[in-house]
Amino acid sequence: MAAKLEKTRYPGIYKRGSRYVIVWEHRGRQHKESFSSLAEAREAKGRKQAGERRPLSKIRFDAYFTQWIKTYSGRTARGFSETTRPEYERPIRAHTLEHWQGWTLAEIEPADVRQRLGEMRAEACSVSQMKKLRAALSAMFATAVDDNLLRSNPVQGVRIPAPLEDEEPEVKAKALIRADLRVVLAALPEEWRLFFEFLTHSGLRISEAIGMRWEHVDLGERPKLEVREQFYRGKRRKLKSGAGERDLPLSPGMAERLIEHRRASSRGPKTPVFTSTTGTELIRGKVAERVLTPTAIAAGFKTEEIVVNDDGEEELKVRLTVTFHTFRHTCASLLFDNGRNIKQVQEWLGHADPGFTLRTYVHLMDAGVGDAAFFDEVVGADRETKRSDEAL
């Protein structure tokens, strides 16, 4: 049997054993909340008297998460993409459910969030992993506040822990210099070279390149690409932002090659520019596995390091230094080299925020995107050299 409440000299505050209990009414029902010290109880009682009478929710963290992840629809007018739902679910399941098992939403405080991120740092989790967890938790707790289950979001204001002194900084994708670009393109199977030259010319995201259909390729007097959609995770989708919708000029050389490619492969305006052997959209993972990865390894664009696996054994880990995004970075680098400024590159790449472009690249140059003729000299140099040699 629970110990009886004993009155204190403060109205509405009682003592039960070593804890202090406040009692108040909300919507005709009596509620109680206990605290470890009299000072905490008095502070809480003051909040109740000031009007904060809604009782804290007793719903458990894991129960609310299960409900929230199924129904979350975003917190902006743009809504919430279903492809993002797994990206919110995965970090919470991996890094918090086990640690906060049995806790209620109201029991989780900023100190607990900081502690969990600190533990992730000690577990050698990347900054990206911690940022994803913080973003997912922040969205969930903000929804709980909107649902009147919490008074405040415990994630708000919590920062990612600083890197350890001996920690290597995260490696970002880098642009290829011209000589390395030629090496990579030359190492590709002949049937795939046009696709990767197209990535370099256009700077398209891989989902945009795979999603490009012939109806959005103008190969007339002023050839251009109309970037209007993407093919992501097996589905054709709208672009994430209005900035992604853009028109890009094509160089004469690339336009000529696409005309030849269209004659040989097009099955109509609705078909993808680059297709699988069955005429359907390419699958990013398969192209990476069967084409890009073997090419990068064969051309020597990789790093090797010894890591300790889950069984405590040392093994060799190979990391590629060329990814699909490398060709997008290379496009940006070539644009800067040929006189484009931050605003032009932002529009070319379809960045929503020029500040992001500025943080990623360092050059500042003229307005407007200009033409694309210079790509032929850079990307098609090997082919022109080969033709000259054959003519001799």
pLDDT of residue 363: 39
The CA distances from residue 292 to 11, 178, 196, 285, 296, in Å, are 73, 18, 9, 10, 6
pLDDT band at 128 (very low <50, low <70, confident <90, very high): confident
pLDDT at 4 over 90: no
Mean pLDDT within 319-338:
89
Among all chains, which residue has been given the structure tokens 């005429």? 279
Residues 25 and 86 in one domain: no
307 within some domain: yes
166 is a domain residue: no
The total domain count for the chain is 3
Q: Nearest 5°: phi and psi at 91?
A: -65, -35
DSSP-based three-state secondary structure for 340: strand
15 is a domain residue: yes
Are 45 and 65 contained in the same domain?
Answer: no
Angle (CA) 237-254-327 rounded to 5° is 60
What digits encode the pLDDT tens for the residues 161-173?
876 544 444 445 4
Is residue 83 assigned to a domain?
yes
Q: Is position 74 within any domain?
A: yes
236 has which bridge partners?
Answer: 231
Share of the chain above pLDDT 70, in %: 81
Question: Residue 262 corresponds to which tokens in the numbers above?
Answer: 């269209």
Domain co-membership, 204 together with 327: yes
Which among 146, 168, 195 is the end of a domain? 146
The secondary structure of residue 20, as a DSSP letter, is: E
Instruction: Assess whether 218 and 316 both reside in one domain.
Output: yes
Q: Looking at the structure, tell me whether residues 65 and 184 fall in a common domain.
A: no
Give 318's pLDDT tier (boundaries 50, 70, 90): low
Residues 73 and 43 in one domain: no
What proportion of the chain, given as a percentage, has pLDDT over 90? 32
Asked if residue 349 and residue 246 are part of one domain, the reply reads yes
Q: Is 311 exposed, middle or buried (0-12, 13-18, 19+ CB in 10 A)?
A: exposed
Examine the pLDDT at 238 and tell me if it is beyond 70.
yes
Q: Which domain holds residue 79?
A: 61-146
**What's the confidence (pLDDT) of residue 111?**
87
Q: Is 205 contained in some domain?
A: yes
Together in a domain, 187 and 322? yes
Does some domain include residue 173?
no
**CATH number, domain at 82?**
1.10.150
Q: What is the pLDDT of residues 203-222, one digit of tens each?
A: 999 999 999 999 999 999 99
Round the CA-based radius of gyration of the chain to a whole number and report it: 29
Among 94, 128, 146, the domain-final residue is 146
* Two structure tokens written together for 56: 């804290």
Q: Note the pLDDT of residue 331.
A: 93
| 154 contacts 61 by C-beta, under 8 angstroms | no
Q: Which pLDDT value is given to residue 168? A: 41
Let me know if residue 312 belongs to a domain.
yes
pLDDT tens digit sequence for 137-189: 998 998 888 887 887 889 988 888 876 544 444 445 478 889 999 999 999 99
Q: Is 160 left (phi over 0), alpha (psi -120 to 50) or beta?
A: beta
Q: In 3-state terms, what secondary structure has residue 366?
A: strand
Q: Nearest-CA neighbor of 262 among 186, 198, 187, 188? A: 198
The arithmetic mean of pLDDT across residues 264-282, rounded, is 90
Could you tell me if 370 and 235 lie in one domain?
yes
Min mean pLDDT across 280-289, 317-326, 361-370 is at 361-370
Is the pLDDT assigned to residue 46 strictly greater than 80?
no
